[in-house]
Amino acid sequence: MLSIGGGAGSYTLTSTNDAQQVATYLWNNFLGGQSSSRPLGDAVLDGIDFDIEEGTTQHWDELARYLSGYSKQGKKVYLTAAPQCPFPDAWMGGALKTGLFDYVWVQFYNNPPCQYSSADLTSKVLPAIKSSAKYGGALKTGLFDYVWVQFYNNPPCQYSSGNIAKLVNAWNQWNSIPATKIFLGLPAAPNAAGSGFIPVADLTSKVLPAIKSSAKYGGVMLWSKYYDDRTGYSSSIKSSV
């Protein structure tokens, strides 16, 4: 997957034509198209991940439609997104309503109002998400293949000690969106995000056992490899995921 956007830099889509041109560029240079200047050579990526955290809120839905349209030419183009847990997402709300995203990785960190809080995890959070049809919840559109919800850096919906109600509320809203797989987005270390870190013991003994039976459970998304290499977070949880 090639991730576009990010939390820094300057990027935007100015028009429908702009969205179409970007889709064409991505198809020819990273997906199944042809170009004399492909950065990765003959490698053909599976799809595009939308990590839109600034700029305009318009035309991302059109970019998703144009990219999805290339699936008709052969290999399926997967679309994923990493919105933050406050619902609806400020930038991706419109695009997620298209139903084109396969996976949505919701960032349930750096957002206290909707992130995990250890105080009443077992009494409120787990009961609320255990029967969820789409673990991690996301995207009312049904068009995205994978959804990585960023439950961090967003006080309204992330993990925070002593307060789980906000996370549950956000979780329920994200769960109303159709997606193939939903992933729980978390920081791989306490300092990897401003807030929202969940200790390994809590994740493996309380959270994962309650949500792995979900029909749309996809796994855990971590930010980032840099921090994971230093904490070994993924190695500590992989047997439970």
Q: Quick one: CA dihedral 108, 109, 113, 119, positive or negative?
A: positive
Q: Which of 49, 53, 89, 102 is catalytic?
A: 53
Indicate if 53 belongs to the active site. Answer: yes
Task: Give the three-class secondary structure for 163.
Answer: strand
Q: Which helix (DSSP H) or strand (DSSP E) does residue 129 occupy?
A: helix 126-129
The DSSP call for residue 62 is H
12 phi and psi, to 5 degrees? Answer: -170, 160
Residue 208 near residue 241 (C-beta atoms within 8 A)? yes
Residues 37 and 76: their CA atoms lie apart, in Å, by 22
* Contact partners, residue 63, CB within 8 Å, separation at least 6: 13, 19, 22, 23, 95
52 phi and psi, to 5 degrees? Answer: -90, 115
Task: Give the three-class secondary structure for 230.
Answer: helix
Among 75, 77, 86, 63, which residue's Cα sits nearest to residue 16?
63
Residue 181 near residue 145 (C-beta atoms within 8 A)? yes
Residues 85 and 133: their CA atoms lie apart, in Å, by 17
Residues 139 and 154: their CA atoms lie apart, in Å, by 18
**Residues with a known catalytic role:** 53
